[in-house]
Amino acid sequence: MFAISDSFLTGYMAGESAADTQKAIDGVWQTLDGRRPVTVDQSHLNALHAQLRNALATAERNYQIGSEWIARAKVLEQENVALKSQVAALNRVTAERNGLLKFLDMAVHLLQAQREGKASRPEFAELREFALQVAGIHLDGGVYEGLADQPKKMAWLRKVWEALR
């Protein structure tokens, strides 16, 4: 019924032999490369896609949260600058207040010494001159900060102060 010629069989066998040889070569290369054919179930691929979507959603949420924190940090930095400015202003006011209190203390001490009849003493004149210098500093917009950094002048002021006590 069917007649198959020898040439056809020879060609068919040669083709099959070439395909087998190519499969063997591919198998060797796959082994060397670490690749191998695998069969993957569709449900496993679906699970991997779901995990990818979840990871992308988590990454987006983390990015949004990070952006919110960065925006909050910038607001806090601006508030910090404003607070530092307020602290500097309060420090200036405190320094002025302390300087004025020192001057007021000298004025009260001078008035007390005058009431006690010590206005003719040289220490009274020295302290009055010093009090006027301090008043001049304040009137010029400066701040009298005291004599803590001038030990000799501080010793002089103590001596004058005690002499008028």
pLDDT the model gives residue 40:
85
**In the 8-state DSSP scheme, what is residue 68?**
H
Position 18 in a domain: no
Residue 50: inside a domain? yes
Domain assignment present for 29: no
Residue with tokens 């983390």: 62
Instruction: Tell me if residue 37 falls in helix, strand or coil.
Output: coil
Distance of CA 83 to the CA centre of its chain: 15
The domain tally of the chain equals: 1
* Surface-to-core class of residue 143, CB atoms within 10 Å of its CB (0-12 exposed, 13-18 middle, 19+ buried): middle
Which pLDDT tens digit goes with each residue over 76-96? Answer: 999 999 999 999 999 989 988
Statement: the pTM of the whole predicted model exceeds 0.85: no
Judge whether 70 lies within some domain. yes
Could you list the residue range(s) of the whole structural domain that residue 104 is in? 40-163
Q: Among residues 60, 56, 79, which one has the least CA distance to residue 68?
A: 60
